[in-house]
Amino acid sequence: MNNALVLEFLRQLRANNHKAWMDEHRADYQRARVAYTQLVAELLRGAAAFEPDLAPLTPSDVMYRINKNDRFQQSDEPYKRHMGAGIKRGGRHSPWAGYFIALEPGGETYIGAGRWMPEPAQLARVRQEIHYNPTEFHALRQAPELLHNFPKGLDQSQALKTAPKGYDREDPDIEWLRLKSFFVWQAVPDADVLRPDFPARVLAAWQAAQPFVRFLNEAMMEE
C-alpha cells in the first residue's frame, strides 16, 4: 500500500487536468491506480468480515473510473481529482447503501457510509421506515460509536424545503423525512491518510456505520 504515491499523482493531476498531460503520464497514473487498488483490496477484505455480502467483490467491482461522467460535468476538467470506490452489495453502481472511500490531496479525502440520493421508490420506503420506526432510526443515527467516527452525524445538505407528499409538516420527525440522502461522512487530513493504521481507521468507521447501513438496506427492500 502506497497512499503517498496516490496523493502525489493526484496533486500533479489537479495542476495539469487535461488529456495531453494524462497521455504523457499514463505510466504514473497506472502506478497510482495499482497503489489505490491495493488499498481497496485490503479494505474489501476487512469489510467482508462484518458485511459477508461484500465477500464476492473485487476491487474492479467497486472502484470508480477517474474519467468524469459527462452527466455530472461541472467544469472542463476531463478527470476527477480523486480516486474513489463504492463498496456495497452488487458493486459500485448498485442501488444499495454501503461504504465509500475517496483519496484526494489537500485534506479532501473522505470516508463515508449510507445511501446518497436513492431512487424515488427507495427514498419513499426509507421515509416510511423512519415514520413507522422513529425510535430505531434515532437510536441508530445518534449511536455513540457512529458519532465518534462521524461527528457531524447524518448529512442534511440534501433535503426538501417542505414536507414530502403524504407527510404532515408538523410531524415530529419532519426534519428527517425531508432528507433526500441518508449519508454520513468525514474528511481526512493528508497526514492521517499516510499513517500505517489508515485502513484500520477506515474499517472502524465503516463498522460503526454498519447498523445504520443495514437499516437503510432493509428499508429499501421491496416486499
| Mean pLDDT score across all residues of the chain | 95
Identify the CA nearest to 190 among candidates 112, 110, 113, 86. Answer: 110
Looking up cell 403524504 gives 166
Cα angle 86, 5, 112 (rounded to 5 degrees) comes to 25
In the structure grid, which three cell numbers stand for residue 1, read together? 500500500
Give the integer Cα–Cα distance in Å for 29 and 138. Answer: 43
pLDDT score for 155: 97
Which tens digits make up the pLDDT trace of 151-185? 999 999 999 999 999 999 999 999 999 999 999 99
Domain boundaries, the chain: 3-220
What distance, in Å, lies between the first and last C-alpha atoms of the chain?
A: 42
Residue 74 pLDDT more than 80? no
pLDDT score for 76: 82
The average pLDDT across 118-122 equals 95
6 in Cβ contact with 83 (< 8 Å): yes
Identify the CA nearest to 164 among candidates 183, 176, 177. Answer: 177
What are the C-alpha distances in Å from 73 to residues 64, 69, 130?
15, 6, 33
Residue 53 — very low, low, confident or very high, per pLDDT cuts 50/70/90? very high
Strand partners, 98: 114
Residue 12 pLDDT more than 90? yes
pLDDT score for 69: 74
Give the integer Cα–Cα distance in Å for 86 and 63. Answer: 6
10 in Cβ contact with 32 (< 8 Å): yes
Predicted TM-score of the model (pTM): 0.94
